[in-house]
């Protein structure tokens, strides 16, 4: 892949959903063109757009859309609390000189929401209930706006707010990032002299130590639960707690949190494509540009290894990426989706106001206008200028990016978001796939997920039913490779090693106990507004969009008799209405019976595949011959007990050996 010497996002046409954006500043922001004024303008647009949906006393924002499992009353509180964070960052960032009506609205909401006999009263904080989440947002907002809002409230309102927040004391939070909601809320109570439990605060902070795995990575609870909650929750809330606690905070704790965030950001900067898109992995993706929050947190806490101009380039790039793709919508609202509304990307806890956790992205407004993160000239991100490969052993991930097309790919050999054994291994499309990227998303529509083709290898029984990946057992991540195994069905095992170079990924699968099963492997799901162009033949298949983005898969070993094909889906992908996934398939073989039907002579096998996602006009795949010329795999079997060696050679001479 060819590295670029400069990065520059082209000036977009007028963004109809954001009509009042200020002019670009290409001197200060040569990559994105965006400045603090753009962030302020979008914050104002988001806040103003909520007003028509406010209840009369402004204690709730009841947005259009399906209710969450917590119900409309909780959803209305969520609208208030999450947007209050955004309002707080805007108010504090302006030194209290923001629109006076903004302060008035949220002050009125506090009074109405905490009036226990009023028509807009907030639901109480109960064990493991959604108001716990929203209480933390309110506590953060109250702290950051203390001189302009809290200090000016009537004594009676302050007492009621403290009483409502105090409902957290003695309650049980979910044993996950929710423990930090209790920490933040009760620390605010401590700061205003209200009843609180220091044991609960310290207990929550102690608990996250159990989940810290090193390298800047926390699991979001027991198990292997790695996703964006690492940044926008597990790192963020301890630092916000420290801001609230001030001199009450243990200096050793704060130093540890800052060091961990610094280590995390050293690799997190690689999670964003050159177009600003974050890698599409994990739950709560409706929070979109909240992915920028830990970048600003690093600057705010002096806990970042990134130059200030790079922090702003990546954060502004993410905000701009979504703005150019219709976020917020024409009403100024954040919908339940990735770009447009897309229900399959939601969870049962998602309500109409849930996307406003994206407010965390505006944390940078707490930095003064003359802070280097706002004044320094933008610097390209590392993805803009060089190819990169990063092994992240703690989550079991391998990141590889290419400067020529600006795409980041995440290969997943360690995060399944499952409770520890003996819990059942029910997988999820945002965790079960081998690959996630900045330019592609898994097919998550109901039928597509049932088929489970993209970025997955499955055993397929005689009735065509595929196996799932389930629990992921990491085998190691280092250099240019990552490996794991999973048990797709009782008595069977698939061990997979991914080896990467440039845009290419070679997957080496050792399949055991696949009696009677067919084998099928899919590449990346490619989605867009139009139906992708496709092509296929024996042992290979590809799909291509009009802009040149291409997904391809080629059998390098074990797929000699495989069919190459492409499956199409509609309304199944967050990146566009039409998606296409290239895949390889070997049918089930006859001769007896087994757990998947007929037993063939083959009950195990070695399968080597080339999987590609690229938009490189120079090096991109166009034919089966060019794909096969890019990478070769030579397999040597040293006999039973001595292993098999797979030698992978890339066309520039790079060689990797995999022993299976």
**Mean pLDDT of residues grouped by 10 in the chain (660 residues)?**
54 77 97 98 98 99 97 98 99 96 98 97 98 99 99 98 99 99 99 99 99 99 98 99 99 99 99 99 99 99 99 99 98 98 96 99 99 99 98 99 98 96 88 99 93 96 92 98 96 97 97 87 98 96 96 97 97 98 87 38 79 74 78 86 89 94
Alpha-carbon distances of 215 from 209, 263, 283, 408, rounded to whole Å: 13, 6, 22, 20
Q: How far apart are the first and last CA of the chain?
A: 29
| 486 phi, psi to nearest 5 deg | -145, 160
| 50 phi, psi to nearest 5 deg | -80, -25
Asked if the bond preceding 398 is cis, omega within 30° of 0, the reply is: no
Q: What pLDDT, on the 0 to 100 scale, is given for residue 5?
A: 44
Q: How far is residue 204 CA from its own chain's centroid?
A: 24
Pick the closest to residue 456 from 420, 421, 484, 423 (CA basis): 484
Q: 97-101, long-range: CB within 8 Å, 24+ apart, which pairs?
A: 99/44
CA angle 581, 584, 589 (to 5 degrees): 140
Pick the closest to residue 319 from 287, 345, 354 (CA basis): 287
Q: What pLDDT, on the 0 to 100 scale, is given for residue 426?
A: 83
Q: Identify the helix (H) or strand (E) that includes residue 314.
A: helix 308-323
Check residue 455 and report its DSSP letter: T
| Residues 536-572 as b or e (16 or more Cβ within 10 Å = b) | beebbbbbbbeeebbbbbbbbbbbeebbbbbbebeeb
- Which residue, chain included where needed, has tokens 């034919």? 623
* Count of Cβ atoms closer than 10 Å to residue 310 Cβ: 22
657 forms beta bridges with 647
- Which residue, chain included where needed, has tokens 């995060």? 415
Q: Give the chain's domains with CATH numbers.
A: 36-385 (1.50.10.10), 388-659 (2.70.98.70)
Q: What pLDDT, on the 0 to 100 scale, is given for residue 422?
A: 85
| 609 phi, psi to nearest 5 deg | -130, 145
Q: What pLDDT, on the 0 to 100 scale, is given for residue 425?
A: 82
Q: What pLDDT, on the 0 to 100 scale, is given for residue 561?
A: 92
CA distance 385 to 7: 7
CA distance 54 to 80: 9
566 forms beta bridges with 582
Q: What pLDDT, on the 0 to 100 scale, is given for residue 139?
A: 99
Pick the closest to residue 497 from 488, 486, 507 (CA basis): 507
Q: What pLDDT, on the 0 to 100 scale, is given for residue 598?
A: 38
Whether residue 166 contacts residue 194, with contact meaning beta carbons closer than 8 Å, is answered with yes
pTM: 0.95
Q: What pLDDT, on the 0 to 100 scale, is given for residue 641?
A: 67
């Amino acid at each position: 892949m060819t590295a670029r010497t400069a990065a520059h996002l082209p000036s977009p046409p007028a963004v109809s959903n954001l009509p009042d954006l200020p002019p670009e500043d290409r001197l200060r922001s040569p990559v994105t063109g965006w400045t603090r004024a753009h962030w302020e303008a979008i914050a104002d647009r988001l806040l103003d757009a909520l007003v028509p949906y406010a209840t009369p006393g402004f204690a709730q924002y009841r947005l259009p859309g399906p209710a969450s499992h917590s119900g409309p009353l909780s959803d209305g509180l969520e609208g208030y609390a999450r947007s209050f964070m955004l309002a707080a960052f805007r108010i504090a960032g302006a030194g209290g000189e923001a629109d006076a009506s903004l302060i008035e609205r949220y002050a009125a909401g506090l009074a109405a929401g905490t009036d226990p006999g009023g028509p807009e009263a907030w639901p109480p904080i109960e064990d493991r209930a959604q108001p716990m989440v929203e209480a933390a947002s309110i506590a953060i907002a109250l702290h950051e706006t203390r001189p302009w809002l809290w200090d000016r409230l009537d004594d009676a309102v302050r007492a009621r707010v403290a009483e409502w927040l105090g409902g957290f004391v003695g309650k049980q939070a979910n044993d996950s990032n929710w423990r930090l909601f209790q920490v933040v809320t009760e620390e605010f109570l401590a700061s205003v002299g209200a009843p609180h439990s220091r044991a609960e605060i310290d207990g929550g902070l102690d608990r996250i130590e159990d989940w810290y795995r090193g390298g800047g990575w926390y699991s979001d609870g027991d198990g292997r639960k790695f996703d964006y909650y690492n940044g926008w929750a597990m790192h963020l809330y301890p630092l916000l707690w420290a801001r609230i606690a001030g001199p009450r905070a243990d200096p050793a704790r704060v130093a540890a949190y800052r060091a961990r965030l610094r280590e995390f950001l050293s690799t997190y900067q690689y999670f964003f494509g050159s177009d600003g898109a974050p890698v599409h992995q994990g739950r709560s993706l409706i929070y979109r540009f909240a992915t920028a929050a830990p970048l600003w947190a690093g600057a705010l806490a002096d806990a970042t290894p990134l130059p200030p101009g790079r922090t702003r380039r990546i954060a502004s790039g993410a905000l701009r990426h979504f703005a150019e793709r219709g976020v917020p919508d024409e009403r100024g609202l954040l919908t339940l989706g990735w770009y447009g509304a897309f229900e399959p990307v939601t969870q049962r806890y998602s309500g109409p106001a849930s996307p406003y956790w994206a407010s965390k992205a505006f944390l940078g407004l707490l930095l003064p206008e003359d802070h280097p993160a706002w004044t320094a000239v933008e610097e390209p991100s590392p993805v803009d200028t060089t190819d990169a490969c990063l092994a992240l052993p703690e989550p079991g991930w391998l990141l590889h990016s290419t400067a020529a097309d600006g795409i980041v790919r995440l290969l997943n050999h360690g995060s399944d978001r499952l409770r520890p054994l003996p819990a059942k291994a029910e997988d999820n499309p945002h965790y079960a796939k081998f690959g996630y990227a900045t330019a592609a998303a898994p097919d998550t529509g109901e039928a597509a997920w049932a088929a489970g083709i993209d970025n997955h290898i499955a055993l397929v029984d005689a009735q065509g039913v595929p196996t799932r990946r389930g629990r992921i057992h990491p085998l190691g991540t280092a250099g240019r490779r990552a490996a794991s195994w999973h048990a797709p069905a009782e008595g069977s095992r698939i061990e997979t090693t991914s080896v990467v170079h440039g845009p290419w990924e070679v997957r080496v699968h050792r399949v055991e106990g696949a009696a009677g099963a067919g084998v099928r492997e899919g590449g990346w799901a490619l989605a867009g507004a139009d139906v992708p162009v496709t092509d296929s033949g024996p042992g290979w298949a590809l799909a291509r969009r009009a802009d040149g983005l291409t997904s391809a898969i080629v059998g390098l070993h074990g797929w000699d008799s495989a069919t190459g094909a492409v499956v199409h889906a509609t309304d199944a992908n967050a990146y566009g209405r039409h998606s296409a996934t290239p895949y390889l398939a070997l049918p089930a073989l006859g001769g007896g019976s087994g757990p998947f039907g007929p037993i063939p002579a083959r009950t195990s096998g070695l399968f080597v595949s080339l999987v590609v996602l690229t938009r490189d006009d120079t090096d991109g795949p166009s034919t089966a011959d060019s794909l096969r010329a890019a990478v070769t795999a030579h397999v040597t079997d040293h006999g039973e007990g001595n292993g098999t060696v797979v030698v992978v050679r890339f066309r520039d001479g790079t060689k990797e050996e995999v022993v299976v």
